[in-house]
Amino acid sequence: MSDLCFLLDENLSPVIKRELLKVEPKMTILRVGDKGAPPLGTADEVILEWLQESGFILVTDNRKSMPEHLKNHYARGGHHHGILAVRRGSSLGRIIDELLLVWYASEATEYRDRIQFLPLV
Protein backbone atom coordinates (compact mmCIF):
# COMPACT_ATOMS: atom_id res chain seq x y z
CA MET A 1 0.00 0.00 0.00
CA SER A 2 1.28 3.45 -0.96
CA ASP A 3 1.42 6.57 1.15
CA LEU A 4 0.82 8.82 -1.89
CA CYS A 5 -2.21 11.10 -1.76
CA PHE A 6 -3.60 12.62 -4.95
CA LEU A 7 -5.49 15.87 -5.53
CA LEU A 8 -7.25 15.92 -8.89
CA ASP A 9 -7.62 19.27 -10.60
CA GLU A 10 -11.26 20.34 -10.94
CA ASN A 11 -10.97 20.21 -14.76
CA LEU A 12 -10.22 16.48 -14.75
CA SER A 13 -13.14 14.11 -15.00
CA PRO A 14 -14.65 12.88 -11.71
CA VAL A 15 -14.71 9.44 -13.38
CA ILE A 16 -10.96 9.20 -12.64
CA LYS A 17 -11.49 9.34 -8.89
CA ARG A 18 -14.47 6.99 -8.96
CA GLU A 19 -12.66 4.34 -11.01
CA LEU A 20 -9.45 4.57 -9.00
CA LEU A 21 -11.35 3.99 -5.77
CA LYS A 22 -13.16 0.99 -7.30
CA VAL A 23 -9.80 -0.64 -7.98
CA GLU A 24 -8.01 0.56 -4.86
CA PRO A 25 -10.38 1.72 -2.12
CA LYS A 26 -7.47 2.41 0.26
CA MET A 27 -6.19 5.17 -2.02
CA THR A 28 -6.40 8.71 -0.66
CA ILE A 29 -7.68 10.82 -3.51
CA LEU A 30 -9.55 14.11 -3.47
CA ARG A 31 -10.79 16.31 -6.26
CA VAL A 32 -10.85 20.09 -6.01
CA GLY A 33 -14.32 20.84 -4.66
CA ASP A 34 -14.49 17.74 -2.44
CA LYS A 35 -14.87 18.04 1.32
CA GLY A 36 -11.36 18.45 2.74
CA ALA A 37 -9.96 19.79 -0.55
CA PRO A 38 -9.74 23.34 -1.86
CA PRO A 39 -13.11 24.58 -3.13
CA LEU A 40 -14.01 24.81 -6.82
CA GLY A 41 -12.51 27.89 -8.44
CA THR A 42 -9.55 28.08 -6.05
CA ALA A 43 -6.66 30.08 -7.52
CA ASP A 44 -3.55 28.17 -8.56
CA GLU A 45 -1.44 29.99 -5.98
CA VAL A 46 -3.74 28.80 -3.20
CA ILE A 47 -3.73 25.25 -4.58
CA LEU A 48 0.08 25.25 -4.46
CA GLU A 49 0.06 26.41 -0.84
CA TRP A 50 -2.52 23.73 0.03
CA LEU A 51 -0.36 21.08 -1.64
CA GLN A 52 2.68 22.20 0.31
CA GLU A 53 0.82 21.94 3.61
CA SER A 54 -1.20 18.80 2.91
CA GLY A 55 1.38 16.50 1.33
CA PHE A 56 -0.87 15.72 -1.63
CA ILE A 57 0.40 15.30 -5.19
CA LEU A 58 -1.47 17.35 -7.79
CA VAL A 59 -2.82 15.64 -10.90
CA THR A 60 -3.59 18.32 -13.49
CA ASP A 61 -3.91 19.12 -17.15
CA ASN A 62 -3.40 22.86 -16.50
CA ARG A 63 -0.59 23.99 -18.78
CA LYS A 64 -1.89 27.51 -19.20
CA SER A 65 -1.59 29.24 -15.83
CA MET A 66 0.09 26.73 -13.50
CA PRO A 67 3.68 27.10 -14.83
CA GLU A 68 3.84 30.81 -13.99
CA HIS A 69 2.28 30.31 -10.57
CA LEU A 70 4.67 27.46 -9.88
CA LYS A 71 7.64 29.67 -10.80
CA ASN A 72 6.40 32.31 -8.35
CA HIS A 73 5.78 29.67 -5.68
CA TYR A 74 9.40 28.49 -5.96
CA ALA A 75 10.64 32.10 -5.89
CA ARG A 76 8.88 32.57 -2.53
CA GLY A 77 10.68 29.49 -1.19
CA GLY A 78 7.68 27.23 -1.66
CA HIS A 79 7.70 23.50 -2.29
CA HIS A 80 5.20 20.86 -3.34
CA HIS A 81 4.97 17.10 -3.03
CA GLY A 82 4.72 16.51 -6.75
CA ILE A 83 2.77 17.42 -9.84
CA LEU A 84 1.58 14.82 -12.31
CA ALA A 85 0.79 16.65 -15.54
CA VAL A 86 -1.60 14.80 -17.84
CA ARG A 87 -0.52 14.88 -21.47
CA ARG A 88 -2.99 16.15 -24.05
CA GLY A 89 -5.05 13.45 -25.67
CA SER A 90 -4.64 10.93 -22.84
CA SER A 91 -7.64 8.65 -22.44
CA LEU A 92 -9.36 8.30 -19.08
CA GLY A 93 -8.40 4.63 -19.00
CA ARG A 94 -4.75 5.44 -19.56
CA ILE A 95 -4.76 8.16 -16.88
CA ILE A 96 -6.35 5.74 -14.40
CA ASP A 97 -3.85 2.98 -15.22
CA GLU A 98 -0.91 5.37 -14.88
CA LEU A 99 -2.09 6.73 -11.54
CA LEU A 100 -2.48 3.18 -10.25
CA LEU A 101 1.05 2.39 -11.42
CA VAL A 102 2.43 5.49 -9.70
CA TRP A 103 0.50 4.71 -6.52
CA TYR A 104 1.62 1.08 -6.36
CA ALA A 105 5.24 1.59 -7.39
CA SER A 106 6.28 4.92 -5.84
CA GLU A 107 7.25 6.46 -2.56
CA ALA A 108 5.75 9.86 -1.78
CA THR A 109 9.12 11.54 -1.33
CA GLU A 110 10.34 10.80 -4.85
CA TYR A 111 8.00 13.42 -6.38
CA ARG A 112 8.92 16.33 -4.10
CA ASP A 113 9.31 19.47 -6.25
CA ARG A 114 9.10 17.36 -9.43
CA ILE A 115 6.78 17.54 -12.37
CA GLN A 116 6.15 14.18 -14.02
CA PHE A 117 4.13 13.83 -17.20
CA LEU A 118 1.46 11.15 -17.58
CA PRO A 119 1.44 8.80 -19.35
CA LEU A 120 4.99 8.06 -18.21
CA VAL A 121 6.07 6.91 -21.70
What average pLDDT does the segment 100-106 reach? 94
Residue 103 has pLDDT above 90, yes or no: yes
Whether the predicted pLDDT of 23 surpasses 90: yes
Report the pLDDT averaged over residues 95-105.
95
Q: Tally Cβ neighbours within 10 Å of residue 53.
A: 9
Q: What is the pLDDT of residues 37-74, one digit of tens each?
A: 999 999 999 999 999 999 999 999 987 778 888 889 99
Q: What is the mean pLDDT of the chain?
A: 92
Q: What does the pLDDT read at residue 40?
A: 96
- 75: containing domain: 5-118
- pLDDT for position 108: 83
- Report the CATH number at residue 75: 3.40.50
Give the number of domains in the chain: 1
pLDDT of residue 62: 83
Note the pTM of the prediction, 2 decimals.
Answer: 0.93
CA distance readout (Å), 19 to 9, 22, 67: 16, 5, 28
Average pLDDT of the segment spanning 85-111:
93
